[in-house]
Amino acid sequence: MSDEKKTRIMIVDDHPIMRHGLAQLIDAQADFKVCSWAGTVAEALSAIASDQPELALVDISLPDRNGLELLKDITALHPEVKVLMVSMHDESLYAERALRAGARGYIMKEEAADKLIEAIRIVLAGRIYVSGEMSARIIEMFSGNKGDTQAAPLSRLSDRELEVFEEIGRGKATREIAEMLGISVRTVDAHRAHLKKKLGLKEGSELVRFAVRWVETGIVD
């Protein structure tokens, strides 16, 4: 198949090794071609405009902004581009948020290579991809049964609060977070206060330890 007829796919991930591995996997498919890659939100938006991919694989954790915010920008600016979120973070926390924001699917990085290719093909075919477990959970939510997802502490956070929480876990100071997100220091302080209240934490140091543990291990208990 000529390159012109192959489906154009963009990879958005800030880890070069991960980008390289995904690119090799995708380019090995007879009908796929990696047309571009990006390591930041800014690079991704520029690449989408110039390279016009049909599908973007987007990581949640990016150095300049959260992948969910990039997803929202892609949905608003380039609605023709399908987005499949690929992340190390538990889908129980992010998958529903991603689907609400316009993603066509969510897959964990720990999944086998053939699962990723399957997810890409499902999304390109116009269907939604999530794991069997997440699919059952979503059906439960639509039926009115919230299940255990609402019991998870981080499920109580808004998308912006979760973004601030992640940056705290990465060791960013209040002013750094404000500059990165384009909001005021006072707004970040307000988010910190909301985070402590929603997570049942009394001190700022507790919030930092909690956030660092989550970023490094994915554990919130």
Residues 61 and 164 grouped into a single domain: no
DSSP string, 132-162: HHHHHHHHHHHTT--TTGGGSGGGGS-HHHH
Task: Tell me whether residue 138 is in a domain.
Answer: yes
Q: Last residue of a domain, which of 142, 164, 191?
A: 142
Q: Are residues 156 and 137 in the same domain?
A: no
Question: Considering 92, 121, 142, which residue would you say is the last residue of a domain?
Answer: 142
Residues 137 and 117 in one domain: yes
The average pLDDT across 90-106 equals 87
Indicate the pTM of the whole model. Answer: 0.74
Write the DSSP symbol of residue 83: E
Q: Which of 119, 142, 165 is the last residue of a domain?
A: 142
Q: State pLDDT tens for residues 31-75.
A: 999 999 999 999 999 999 999 999 999 999 888 888 999 999 999
By residue range, what is the domain housing residue 208? 152-217
Angle, vertex CA 192, rays to CA 85 and CA 174, nearest 5 = 85
Instruction: Tell me: pLDDT of 129 over 90.
Output: yes
| pLDDT of 13 strictly over 80 | yes
Q: What is the DSSP letter of 129?
A: B
Consecutive H or E run containing 99: helix 91-101
Q: Which of 46-55, 68-77, 90-99, 113-122 bottoms out in mean pLDDT, i.e. has the lowest? A: 90-99
The tokens describing 19, both together, are: 């980008």
pLDDT at 182: 86
- What tens digit of pLDDT does each residue of 160-191 get? 898 899 889 889 999 999 998 889 999 999 99
Residue 147 lies inside a defined structural domain of this protein:
no
pLDDT higher than 80, residue 218: no
CATH number at residue 177: 1.10.10.10
Q: What is the average pLDDT value for the chain, to the nearest integer?
A: 88
Give strand pairing partners of 34: 9
Q: What is the pLDDT of residue 139?
A: 65
Q: What is the pLDDT of residue 151?
A: 40
DSSP string covering 182-215: T--HHHHHHHHHHHHHHHT--SHHHHHHHHHHHH
Task: Say whether both 210 and 134 belong to one domain.
Answer: no
| For range 137-156, the mean pLDDT | 61
**What is the average per-residue pLDDT within 206-219?**
83
Same domain? 98 vs 39: yes
Q: What is the Cα 195 distance to its own chain's centre?
A: 20
CB of 88 closer than 8 Å to CB of 13: no
Please state the domain count of the chain.
Answer: 2
User: Would you say 178 and 185 are in contact if contact means Cβ atoms under 8 Å apart?
Assistant: yes
The residue-averaged pLDDT of 197-201 equals 91
For residue 2, what pLDDT is reported? 80
Are 74 and 124 found together in one domain? yes
**Model pLDDT, residue 176:** 92
Residue 122 sits in the same domain as residue 205: no
d(CA 56, CA 74): 9
For residue 152, is pLDDT > 90? no
Angle formed by the axes of helices 185-199 and 159-169, nearest 10°: 90
Q: What is the DSSP letter of 14?
A: S
Predicted confidence at residue 215, as pLDDT, reads 79
Q: What is the predicted pLDDT for the residue at 159?
A: 87
Quickly count: other Cβ atoms within 10 Å of residue 78's Cβ: 16
**Lowest-confidence range among 34-38, 88-92, 190-194, 198-202?**
88-92
